[in-house]
Amino acid sequence: MKSFDGRVVVDVDDLILGSNPVEGLIGPNGAGKTTLMRMIMHSVRLDQGTVTFHPGGGSSSVVISSLPAHAMASLGVVKTNQVIQDFEKLTIWDSLLLAAARGRDERPFRIFAEKRVWAQNTAEIKRYLDEFPFASPYGFAKSAGEKKLLDILRCLLLRPKILLLDEPTAGLPADVRDRVMALVRQKAVDEYVSVVIVEHDLNVIWALSDYVHFMAEGSVVLQGDPAWIREHETVVEKYLGKGHVGR
């Protein structure tokens, strides 16, 4: 549970995320979606409760509610940012290179000291840059779209076990949006990455998700198949509006 100034903004009980390849988290503004994601990453401190991670979906578990950010990444719990972080201190190439090395549990200095490590990491980055060309891959990400794309690619290079995507398509051109979401879907299915996505473009949610959680007023009200959620009277009334059918 989390409250601000005495007002409860998130109050969920026994919520399980990541049982499906891609899960959507939807709801009106102020429902608590982004706060819930930040609670998972504990960039927002919980007032009550714990967050528990089950690596590989097995019986073993790790309470991650109080772990530092670097420990979360080491466990494979990774999140993109709704508000783009400052990428002006590292070039696009260097940002991706460091993420790739971290994803392989390599110390950064080994990238430059050992040819094998350099080759492994740079080959993977080049594949991404071939598919998603930046204006200047050896320069800095300038536009909001480039920063958003860089954020997503960095997270994928970290080799996450669970990937939290917060408004991942905002600022992306339509063709790039479709390709990067197809890549996310591929990672989820082929590499068993559990993806949880918050996205106001509901076409992305309906196309990408295997399962959807609907939040309202800080609570998860409904959970289920995207088609069922989309037509449920509570979702239509509180969020979609009666004219949504066929859009």
CATH number at residue 168: 3.40.50.300
| 67/133 same-domain check | no
| 36/80 same-domain check | yes
pLDDT number for residue 70: 76
| 177/221 same-domain check | yes
pLDDT number for residue 113: 66
pTM attached to this predicted model: 0.90
> pLDDT, tens digit, for every residue of 166-177?
999 988 999 999
pLDDT number for residue 74: 85
The residues, ordered by sequence, that sit 6+ positions from 126 with a Cβ below 8 Å of its Cβ are none
The residues, ordered by sequence, that sit 6+ positions from 121 with a Cβ below 8 Å of its Cβ are 97, 100, 101, 104, 106, 111
pLDDT number for residue 199: 94
| 166/77 same-domain check | yes
| 93/211 same-domain check | no
pLDDT number for residue 132: 93
pLDDT number for residue 10: 93
Range of the domain at 133: 88-140
| 63/112 same-domain check | no
pLDDT number for residue 244: 58
pLDDT number for residue 247: 40
In a domain? residue 153: no
In a domain? residue 152: no
| 20/128 same-domain check | no
pLDDT number for residue 104: 79
pLDDT number for residue 123: 86
In a domain? residue 145: no
| 94/21 same-domain check | no
CB-CB contact of 192 with 9 (8 Å)? no
In a domain? residue 129: yes
E strands present in the chain: 2-4, 7-10, 22-26, 52-53, 62-63, 77-79, 162-166, 194-198, 211-216, 219-224
Residues of the chain with pLDDT under 70: 57-58, 82-88, 108-109, 111-113, 117, 242-247
The residue type at 237? E
In a domain? residue 213: yes
| 7/94 same-domain check | no
CB-CB contact of 2 with 37 (8 Å)? no
In a domain? residue 155: no
Q: Would you state the structure tokens that stand for residue 195, as one six-digit string?
A: 């993806």
Task: Count how many domains the chain has.
Answer: 2
